[in-house]
Structure formats: C-alpha cells, structure tokens
Structure 1
Amino acid sequence: MSLRLSLPRLTATAAVPRPRRSNVPDFAVNPKAPHVDLVGPPDPISNIRPIIYKVTPNAPRPTPSYTSPSPSSSSSASSSRTPLPSRLTPSQGSLHYSPGEFPREGDETAGQAAYRVQREKLDKFNNDFWASNNIRFAAALSEAMASLPPMSTPPTQAEEDRKEDRLAEFYKSWLIQEEPKQKQWMKDWWKGNWGILKSWAFGAA
C-alpha cells in the first residue's frame, strides 16, 4: 500500500513594491518656535549637531468679563438661587480670581522653560569648546607639518617614516598640552548635566 502526498505547487510571484516615503513632512515646523526638537547637520568646525528644542508658546490669556445683572432680574432670581461664597462673588464688575492663577493646558511652565534654557546653555558651551579645540588643533598640526622638507613624488620610504614620526610626536605633545583643558571641560560638562537632571526632576516633569 502506497501513500501519496499532495504538496502545494510553488509559483513565483512578482514582489509587491513598497510605497516610497514622501520627502514632504507631515507637518509644518516653525524653526523659531518648534513643537518638536529639531536636529541640524553637524557644525563644520565643532562637528556637533545643533539642536533647537521645542518651545510651547504661552498663548495670551483671555480676560474674563462679568456683566452685572439688572436690578429687576437679580431681585426676581435671588429668592430661588443659593448665594455664592464671598470669594466667588464678582467684585466691581470683574471676577475675584485672576485668570493668571490657572495655567493653560499645554503652556510651557517656568520649570520647563528653565530646563530648556539649561540644555541650550550646555549645548552652546560644548559647541564653543570643541570649535575652539578644533581650530587650534588644525593650526598646530599645519605648523608642525610645515617644518618638514617637501616630499618627492612618489615619496620615499624614508620620507613616509619621517612624516609618521612627526605626526606621532605632534599627537603626543598635543594631548599633554591639552590635558588640563580636557579635564576642566569634562568637569564642567558633567556638572551641567547634573544640573539639567535636577531641573528636569524637580520642575520639568
């Protein structure tokens, strides 16, 4: 007795093309007051990407107005209404509460603003440090290599060895020279980050 297995026949099908992503963003972003964090291309000198942090605008708050009821309407309704507490009653045509006492939903609070400003200051400090570092590094490297005699075409092995030795000497001297600045930058960098974390924990959350 023999068993026959019926297997499905495999057929080649054309691949379904995936829809291409549009280069047009789904929303418009105002770079002066973005509602999302914007990351730019690397700075040509510091090699650090700048960030524009989102800002929730403080929209103007409408001033509530109170219209005093006419004497006739107030007298007719006074018997059927429960009197309001003195703090909730209008005073001289305006509400007792100031609209500024109630934050609008979505507004940037003082803690959130401080958190954002601290991040911006630390980013500027970091960018300025590395921009200055890279400018000085490029100038010192150019000066060190300029003291070498011109290389032949093609360069000889002795010339290549002399170039490598000069580079090794330059990198070593550069690291020794810049070590105090690097250590101070590291301390200031971590100090700024701890400040940002505290600001986030106590005011921006």
Structure 2
Amino acid sequence: MAWTSLVLDLLGVFFFAVSGSLLAVRREFDIIGSLLLGTCVGLGGGILRDVILDVGVPRAFDSPIYLVPPVVAATVVYFFAHAVQRFHDLLLTFDAAGMALFSVTGTLVALAAGMNPTASAMLGVVTAVGGGVIRDVVANDVPQIFRARGLYAIPALIGAALTSFTSWADWFGVGTGTAIAALVFALRMVSLRYRWGAPPAGGHHGPTPAPSSV
C-alpha cells in the first residue's frame, strides 16, 4: 500500500501544481512565478499536515521526488497554455482532482502516524484544501474555499471521513481509495456545474441589514 499512497500523493501534487501554474498564466506571472506558485499549492497542504503531526522534516523536503511534479506541471503549462482557451474551468478541474486525491492520501498519512480516525480525517481535509488556500492568497485571489459557487471543503471532508472509516474497518484498498477520490472529484465538479453551495453564514440570501443607531 505504501507505493500506492506515494503514487496517488505525487499525482495529487501534479494536479494541484498544474492549477497553480494555470493561475500564474492568468495573473501573467513569469515561468519562475509559475513554478513557485505550482510548488506552493502542490506541497503546501502536505507541509501543513506534517508540521501538525510533528513528524520531523516534512516529506516534501525529505523526499526530492516531491519536487518533480511541480517542475513537470510548470513545463507542461508553459508549452501548452497558449492552446487552452478556458483557463478558469481547467484550473478548477485540476484543483478538484488534486483535492480529491489529497483528501485520501492526507488521511492515510495521518493514520499511519498513529492519529485517531477523527483527527486523521481532519488532517485529510487540511491536506486537501490547505495548498489551494495558499495558492490563491499568494496570487491575490479569493480562495476557492470561501467562494459561494460550488462545494469545496464539504467534498474533502466526505472523502477524508470515508477514507478514515474504511481504513478503521479494514475495508480500505486500492479500489476503495480510487472510488472515494472519484466520488470527491465528481461531487466538486457537479457542485460547480449546478452552483451548489453551503448555507450562507447569515442564514439567508439577502443583504445583511445595517445595525441601527441608538
């Protein structure tokens, strides 16, 4: 299972890194900016998770192989971005794929570190959404997790919870992990297509009334 988790983790890094490089194109960054933004989103969530777990040097720095996907992503976007007409939709697709994979692998890493199922699911969500938040903040964009259009943290939470539960029940395997990631990806994309969203913080969709003066 270790190699499967590594492959899924590297795929997640790649998908997230592509989303970062596409955002760099939209923001008119240079190739170095594209590489740095892709690295931030691809590795950011995992670094946050490893720091919380206090497992020593985060695996993104301990294993040089984790630096390969951002380089590949920046190179691919550099040569093919001119042929892509809808950067935003493609960015959201790669972002959803990275989030789906990280909701699974982040939870597995936390479980392997000895965390309980609930804490592992929480760290799976941190891994899934952390890099995207870092990407959008660095690029001076509104983080996807705070946008009204589409569900973001909720699909990640569902994926992390299912991964944690199936692992606890000893049902987890390659097929199960793939199915969970596919479910998270599909839920995210469908929510974008039909503009699903979580209930507003104020409990209604109208404008918040201004406080009356006393």
TM over 0.5: same fold? no
TM-score, length-normalised on structure 2?
0.26
Between Structure 1 and Structure 2, the one with more helix by share is 2
